Each structure stands twice: as C-alpha cells, then as structure tokens.
C-alpha cells in the first residue's frame, strides 16, 4: 500500500488543480479549482476548445469568464465521483449581494450544462461579507466552500453560517511564519505536526468538531508531503497532482494524526461583526494572507479575461 492509499483510509483525497488530464489519471473523490489554477490550465492548448466555446456563447467577456469556469468544472466532474469547487470572482469578496448574484449565475450555468447543483461547491473568500453571502446561499440549497481561511475566527463564522465546507490553508501560513522569522527560522522545529499551518488546521478541526459543527474541514495549500501526512484524519485534504504523485511513490507507513472522537465538547458562542473585525485586526498573519490571496486571485481573473479577449478578436 502506498502513502496515498494509506492516507485515504483516514481522509477524503481531493485534487487541487484545473488540469483535467491530471484529474482523469488520479480519479479523486472531489476536485478544487481557483482563478490561478484555471488560468494555468487555460494556457494549455489542449483546453482551448473550452475557452473558445465560452467566448462564442458569452454575451460579453464577463459572461465568457464565468462560462470558462463552468466549462472546466463540467469536464472535471466527468472524472470525479463527488464535487467540484468553483470560485466566485474575488473582486466581489467584500460585496455580499454581488457574491450571491454571481453564485446563483454559476449554478444556473451548471444546470444548463446538465450538472446537478449538489455536485458543485461555490468557493467564496472568508471575509465577513463573503460569509454572509454563503449564509444566504446555503439557505437556498447552494453548497458553499469558504476559502482563504487563515484563522480560527474565520472558520467559526463560516461554520455558524452553515457552510458546507471550509478550506483552511496550511502552506501560506507556513510561508508567512518562515518569512517573518527570517534567519531565526528553524525548519526542523517547525516540521510536521509542529508546522504552524498544520497547527492552525488542527485547532480549527478541534474547535468545530467540539461545538458539533456539521461543516466539513478540508486542509488546503500544501508545500510538502509532511504537512499532508500530519493532517491524516482531517475530513478532506485537497492536494496538488505533484504531491499526490509523491504520496503514490512512497510506501512508508502513514499514521492517523487527527481524531474526531478525541475532541471534547465545547460551548458555541455567536460571533458578531465587531468581534470578527477586532479578532482579524489583532491577527497580522491572517489579515495579510487573506488580503494577499484575494488580490492574487483578482490578478489572475483579470489575466484570464485578457486571454479571452485575444480569442474574441
């Protein structure tokens, strides 16, 4: 048994990529995409037809960009047993109403393509406004994946909003702490279960399970195999094809590291808007990485639209 097979005994494996060929080889349970992954895949000539169809059917570039996301998602669903995550335009991260509107449109496009909405997770940045949008959407039966989660308070408000799934990030937290420590960084002392990103996901897992939350927790943004293995037992882990390959090519033992049964019952307290803002303000890492992530996704969304404009000409 290789490490990927062993890990799958404890955790649902999700492919983190927009590359349809990679997903076809892996055949994971679910798949996640984001603007950066879709942009990377869109530059592959093998998928040009998905872009051309979007441009031909789109009313304008904005509409064509939405259709590209859905075209990729629809193709990906042919090779996964479960769900695909499709991200709302990150420029709407601080606008509840427009996020809801965009999510509804994406679901309608999936329906037009013959896809069951239950197989789609709408990805939304875990800002206060994004979480309020998810609350509205979940009430309508639209499943949401709250992403760019770097703090416990983001995870808690997402759970309280009834989010189907959350994606707490590991690698980007690791990156921040390593950069911030500079020459004082001790890689060995911050490896595996001691990795700051791993510790953040474990804290979120224990907190949400402790209050009886039904929200699924999916560790994301991995830099190395050790981070993944340190979270064996998390509900889901979304992993890049490169790291999936590393796991497949290693037969070293895999031990479960996180246990739902070991989490004590905790009291659930509603978090107000003011409490959320203050907690985020006090967390420099979470604030910086959330803003950085949103800006990076916006930049790649705009690059995708520039690419579509060249096809429209």
Decide: helix, strand or coil at residue 119: helix
CA 113, chain centre distance (Å):
23
Residue found by looking up tokens 């996020």 in the block: 99
- What's the rounded Cα separation, in Å, for the pair 67 and 6? 37
- What's the rounded Cα separation, in Å, for the pair 145 and 312? 32
Alpha carbon separation from 253 to 2, 3, 9, 220 (Å, rounded): 8, 7, 12, 22
State the catalytic residues: 123
Identify any residues that bridge with 31 across adjacent strands, giving them in sequence order. Answer: 15, 84
- What's the rounded Cα separation, in Å, for the pair 134 and 103? 9
Burial category of 302 from C-beta neighbours within 10 Å (exposed 0-12, middle 13-18, buried 19 and up)? middle
Phi-psi label, residue 212: left if phi above 0, alpha if psi -120 to 50, beta otherwise? left
Measured N-to-C along each axis, helices 152-160 and 196-210 cross at an angle, to the nearest 10 degrees, of: 30
Burial category of 168 from C-beta neighbours within 10 Å (exposed 0-12, middle 13-18, buried 19 and up)? buried
CA 180, chain centre distance (Å):
24
């Amino acid at each position: 048994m290789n490490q990927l097979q062993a890990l799958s005994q404890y955790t649902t494996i999700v492919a983190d990529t927009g590359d349809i060929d990679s997903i076809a080889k892996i055949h994971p349970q679910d798949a996640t995409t984001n603007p950066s992954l879709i942009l990377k895949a869109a530059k592959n000539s093998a998928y040009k037809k998905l872009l051309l169809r979007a441009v031909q059917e789109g009313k304008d570039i904005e509409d064509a960009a939405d259709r590209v996301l859905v075209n990729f998602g629809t193709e990906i669903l042919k090779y996964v047993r479960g769900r695909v995550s499709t991200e709302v335009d990150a420029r709407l991260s601080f606008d509840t109403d427009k996020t809801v509107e965009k999510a509804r449109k994406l679901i309608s496009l999936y329906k037009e393509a013959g896809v069951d909405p239950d197989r789609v997770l709408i990805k939304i940045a875990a800002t206060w406004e994004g979480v309020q949008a998810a609350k509205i959407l979940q009430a309508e039966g639209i499943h949401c994946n709250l992403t760019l989660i770097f703090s416990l308070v983001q995870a808690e408000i997402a759970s309280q909003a009834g989010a189907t799934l959350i994606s707490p990030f590991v690698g980007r937290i690791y990156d921040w702490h390593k950069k911030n420590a500079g020459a004082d960084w001790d890689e060995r002392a911050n490896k595996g279960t001691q990795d700051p990103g791993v510790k953040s996901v474990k804290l979120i897992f224990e907190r949400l399970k402790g209050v009886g939350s039904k929200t699924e927790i999916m560790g994301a943004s991995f830099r190395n195999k050790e981070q993944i293995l340190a979270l064996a037992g998390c509900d889901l882990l979304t992993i890049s094809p490169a790291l999936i390959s590393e796991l497949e090519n290693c037969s070293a033992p895999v031990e479960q590291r996180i246990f739902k049964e070991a989490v004590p019952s905790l009291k659930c307290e509603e978090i107000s808007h003011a409490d959320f803002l203050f907690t985020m303000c006090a967390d420099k890492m979470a604030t910086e990485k959330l803003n950085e992530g949103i800006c990076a996704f916006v930049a790649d969304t705009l690059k995708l639209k520039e690419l579509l404009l060249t096809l429209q000409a």
